[in-house]
């Protein structure tokens, strides 16, 4: 069975500091991994994905994520946080075969403090 864990409900970081939002996963076979962001009263927006290839994936708005197979992790990072990055972030995983059924984590609320 597939599952995703986001161990932190809330992450606070000062503007300009680097940020990390953690995600670990469990899936049979090689995973497809995703990060989505949700701003207030909006649907989820795709940030980045890992399917195969380079373990460091770059996405929208300066975000990147590192796939670590041995630790089954896919942490989201950004070198310098902006106040506008404050939002709810979801990690998601799906198996490489079968229906496109994403399993989502419970979300991490990121607050960037001016």
Closer residue to other proteins (CB): 15 or 73: 73
Closer residue to other proteins (CB): 15 or 103: 103
State how far the Cα of 35 lies from the Cα of 18, in Å rounded to an integer. 17
Given the structure tokens 């649907």, which residue do they identify?
Answer: 43
Q: Does 31 bind other proteins (CB under 8 A)?
A: no
Smallest distance, other proteins to C-beta of residue 21, A: 14
Q: Does 99 bind other proteins (CB under 8 A)?
A: yes
Q: Does 43 bind other proteins (CB under 8 A)?
A: yes
Given the structure tokens 């670590």, which residue do they identify?
Answer: 68
Q: Read off the DSSP letter of residue 62.
A: G
Report the SS3 class of residue 81. Answer: coil
State how far the Cα of 50 lies from the Cα of 32, in Å rounded to an integer. 6
Instruction: Report the interface residues with other proteins, using CB under 8 A.
Output: 4, 9, 32, 34, 36, 41-46, 49, 51, 90, 98-102, 104-107
């Amino acid at each position: 069975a597939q599952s995703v864990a986001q161990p932190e409900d809330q992450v606070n970081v000062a503007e300009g500091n680097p940020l990390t939002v953690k995600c670990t996963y469990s899936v049979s076979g090689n995973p497809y991994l995703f990060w989505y962001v949700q701003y207030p009263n909006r649907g989820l927006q795709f940030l980045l994905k890992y399917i195969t290839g380079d373990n460091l994936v770059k996405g929208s708005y300066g975000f990147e994520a590192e796939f670590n197979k041995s630790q089954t992790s896919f942490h989201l990072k950004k070198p310098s946080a902006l106040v506008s990055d404050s939002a709810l972030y979801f990690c998601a995983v799906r198996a490489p075969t079968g229906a496109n059924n994403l399993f989502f984590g419970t979300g991490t609320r990121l607050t960037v403090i001016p």
